[in-house]
Amino acid sequence: MLVEGKKYQTIWINPIKKNVVNIIDQCKLPFSFEIVDLTTPEDAFVAIKDMLVRGAPLIGATGAMGIYLASLQLSNSDKIMNNLRAVASKLKSARPTAVNLAIVIDSIMNSISSSLSVDEVRELTYKMALECLENEINYCKQIGDFGVRLIEEISKRKKGATVNILTHCNAGWLACIDYGTALAPVYQAQERGIPVHVWVDETRPRNQGSRLTAWELQNQGIPHTVIADNTGGHLMQHKMVDIVIVGSDRTTRTGDVANKIGTYLKALAAFDNNIPFYVALPSSSFDFSLRDGINQIPIEQRSAREITHVEGNSNGKIVEVNIIPDNSKVANYGFDVTPSRLISGLITERGICEANEQSITKVFSDLLSMTDEGYIKFNCNRNNNTISIKRLLFNELNKWRKRLYDLSLIGAYNNGIGYGNISVRNAESSFFITGSSTGTKQVLSMSDYALVNEWDYENNRLECTGKTNASSESLSHAAVYDAIVDAAAVIHIHSEKMWKLFHGKLPTTSNKILFGTPEMAIEIKRLLKKDSIREQGIIIMGGHKDGIITFGESLDQAGEIVLKYYNQSLKTSVISFSGDK
């Protein structure tokens, strides 16, 4: 888009110095336009965390550039995968709510093989980082193509009068690479000669609307008015808003949307005044593993200083001033979740769909074909109380979990959907297990585990306690604990090679039974009636491609069984597999 008449992207690899990534420092806008050099993965981490770059698509692209910069620091003697995994884990921790960051980084990491040379890794990460930029640009352009039709329809109804659009935060080109998401239809409308006007929420506490959206609309020559955050409802009541279009940092498969704090209130006001409320997002902002946005999407809590102080321009200098009483407590939630029932539709690069699972599935059936295995199939009733795991046991869990993560036996696919989990028995009728959607994390905190208290195969129900839902494989773990009184730990891993190699040779469940279902749990219990199978401590999940579970009288025993067959698979070639059809 344009800055003083010159075209820019928000991030690019320096055409002269290929070891330098350039970004626009958005913390300085609109008071000064400055280009910053990123030369290390730490630079990329800081740029994301301190919001020199922001917006889900741009955060993801910056993460990709961080991996590329990390590859430039590798030497031939380095342990390539260990070093890159450490960088990837740190980068993903910079901003937890924007799902693009984890999806993009995991996509790159899953494409890197330990057999590649340093030069091959550099070439691959360079290529994939540029592909990420190109994809996001194309997505945003297509979002504009579909979204402008909504503005055209309103313009026709108003007989060519100005269409008034309200937006929240910044979902323009500054939040992406080019064009933007929520503002892409606005830019398209301008190109088609449709008169538009944008109501720009200031978007406290960082004022991304008044500082960034207003700045880019001004550069693009689009009429706009900056308003206080709480003004939108008044404007809607007085018929001064025709449509609301916002962006998304993460959207569930059921259509719930996490966006900048305050979005939910705009949706409520729009719903009450019968004003269409649309969310514009690329497919990279979907988290198909989640069904319940309010309870499952992690909400970033940011520094109190963003609330206690405000930045402004004073005689050419950016200064901060304190605006609240000293010692007052502050809560700074960065995002909120708008339930799908309040959303008129989702504007994506594939078209406009309704904010419900059926419509989203129809549009993104190919992406969901793999991720269908990433969501919970049973009814998970969760008590949100904090759980406590004894420190020694917690350390033991994380030790094995990290070891399996480092071998990519637990982790996440390149679409961000996690796989693999680990559990330990707590008492005769309860167990601790890694939570749903934790596969992208290298190291887990106490809040990433759940305590499963009760399960019911017949009614497909599970009760758990914790800050996250229990893993989608919890019923399978429960089946082992039910069948074997002495079982103290269960591990579920994914390995295509192991699965193909041992399918049918080791105890294997029916190919017709899907993971995470009561049928799988019942099948596991059936197999475990045989003493010989109990002694082997491993089951291949026939209807769950790549899925394998091990179990033992201790976590160490269950883990060593995994390593035993993993090491055996490294020495064996898989020629064919008749069951993989």
**Catalytic residue numbers, as ranges:** 249
Nearest in space to 50 (alpha carbons), one of 26, 30, 24: 26
Structure tokens given for 238: 């007085």
List, in sequence order, every residue forming a beta bridge with 259; answer none if it has no partner. 336
d(CA 57, CA 52): 14
55 contacts 174 by C-beta, under 8 angstroms: yes
Q: What angle do CA 212, 138, 286 make, to 5 degrees?
A: 75
Nearest in space to 456 (alpha carbons), one of 379, 376, 523, 528: 379
Secondary structure class of 431 (helix, strand, coil): strand
Range list of H helices, 197-272: 208, 214-220, 232-237, 263-272
Q: How far is CA 105 from the centre of its chain?
A: 10
The secondary structure of the chain in percent helix, strand, coil, rounded to multiples of 5, reads 40, 20, 40
User: How far from 69 is each of 42, 52, 63, 491, CA to CA, in Å?
Assistant: 9, 17, 10, 35
Own/partner contacts of 307-311, CB < 8 Å, gap of 24 or more, are 307/205, 307/331, 307/332, 310/205, 310/207, 311/207
Work out whether the CA dihedral 79, 84, 89, 91 comes out positive or negative. positive
d(CA 354, CA 127): 34
Nearest in space to 554 (alpha carbons), one of 478, 463, 484, 450: 484
Query: Which burial class, exposed, middle or buried, applies to 572 when counting CB atoms under 10 A from its CB (0-12, 13-18, 19+)?
Result: exposed
Peptide bond into 507 cis (omega under 30): no
d(CA 542, CA 481): 20
d(CA 561, CA 487): 14
Q: What is the DSSP letter of 398?
A: H
Nearest in space to 228 (alpha carbons), one of 254, 249, 199: 199
